[in-house]
């Protein structure tokens, strides 16, 4: 981020000099979560600009929460490429968008990327860890989620479902763990079955069942043993809804009924 001084409104097209672009491209001025630059993509952009010119305007975020500094929100590779082939007196137009909060910056960049690569759960996680939340009250939840993701073989999407009820809050920088201790037990349970090769829909079904029901340690062990036996016998349903309906039956049915199910 840098102090390129310009008067801008909510959204305005401005003209950048080569010196302005040089400031914006400094490593310390790039948004931390938007810093990775692909050399091959940079070369492709350079070739395209040389042949066709600049076909899409860069987008800059004006960080009103940070003294109105400007940062590249979109076309970072394009600006690098343009800078390499431009001359000292060249200029380039850019769209400047006012961003009052960190969340508005994330919203802007994620929406701009939706039309091309798109953001996944990992992009949002990395973003909030690097960029920080507006109130800085939820940052520890993101670092805890990242730690959990690194320590398990579960998908990030499943862990988000286990630890919080709102995917929207996760994307908006407002991640909160609903019941950390219970969620931790559920993720451990699912991790064990992921190691046994259980597919995602079965792991999701088990996670939803355990989050909905308060099982004692003894009940959880018995439930786990029954699922494991059905798995070894090849008796687990292959359809998502059938599997989830079976979980309720397996949990409450008698030993005799379960033996008949295994037969």
**Mind listing the pLDDT tens digit for each residue in 210-255?**
999 999 999 999 999 999 999 999 999 989 999 999 999 999 999 9
CA distance 160 to 157: 5
Mean pLDDT for 141-152 is: 93
Q: What three-state secondary structure class fits 193?
A: helix
CB distance 173 to 128 below 8 Å: yes
Bridge pairing between strands 91-99 and 69-74: unpaired
User: Which residue in this structure is represented by tokens 């079976």?
Assistant: 246
Please tell me the CATH code under which domain 11-118 is placed.
Answer: 3.90.1530
CA distance 174 to 128: 10
CB distance 141 to 152 below 8 Å: no
Rg (the chain; Cα; Å):
25
The Cα diameter of the chain in Å comes to 85
Mean pLDDT for 184-212 is: 95
Q: What three-state secondary structure class fits 185?
A: helix
Residues near 172 by beta carbon (within 8 Å), at least 6 away in sequence: 103, 106
pLDDT confidence of 147, banded at 50, 70, 90?
A: very high
- Residue 62, pLDDT > 80, answer yes
- Residue 9, pLDDT > 60, answer no
Predicted pLDDT of residue 54: 86
Taking residue 109's Cβ as centre, other Cβ atoms within 10 Å add up to: 24
* Long-range contact set of residues 7-13: C-beta below 8 Å, sequence gap at least 24: 8/62, 8/96, 8/98, 9/98, 10/97, 10/98, 11/95, 11/96, 11/97, 11/98, 12/95, 12/96, 13/57, 13/93, 13/94, 13/95, 13/96
Domain boundaries along the sequence of the chain: 11-118, 139-262
pTM here is 0.69
Among 42, 165, 169, CA closest to 106: 169
- Residue 111, pLDDT > 90, answer no
């Amino acid at each position: 981020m840098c102090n390129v001084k310009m008067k801008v409104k909510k959204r305005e097209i401005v003209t950048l000099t080569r010196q302005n672009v040089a400031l914006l491209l400094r490593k310390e001025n790039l948004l931390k979560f938007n810093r990775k630059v692909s050399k091959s993509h940079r070369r492709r952009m350079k070739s395209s600009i040389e042949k066709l010119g600049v076909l899409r305007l860069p987008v800059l975020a004006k960080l009103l929460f940070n003294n109105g500094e400007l940062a590249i929100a979109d076309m970072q590779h394009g600006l690098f490429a343009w800078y390499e082939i431009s001359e000292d007196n060249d200029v380039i137009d850019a769209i400047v968008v006012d961003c009052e909060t960190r969340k508005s910056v994330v919203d802007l960049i994620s929406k701009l990327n939706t039309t091309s690569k798109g953001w996944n759960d990992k992009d949002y996680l990395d973003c909030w860890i690097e960029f920080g939340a507006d109130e800085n009250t939820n940052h520890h939840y993101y670092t805890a989620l990242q730690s959990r993701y690194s320590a398990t073989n579960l998908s990030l999407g499943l862990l988000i479902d286990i630890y919080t009820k709102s995917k929207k809050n996760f994307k908006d920088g407002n991640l909160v763990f609903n019941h950390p201790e219970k969620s931790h037990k559920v993720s451990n349970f699912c991790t064990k079955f992921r190691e046994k090769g259980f597919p995602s829909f079965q792991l999701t079904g088990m996670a939803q069942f355990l989050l909905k029901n308060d099982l004692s340690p003894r009940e959880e062990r018995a439930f786990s043993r029954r699922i494991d036996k059905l798995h070894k016998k090849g008796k687990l349903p292959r359809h998502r809804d059938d599997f989830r309906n079976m979980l309720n039956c397996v949990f409450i049915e008698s030993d005799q009924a379960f033996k008949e199910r295994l037969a």
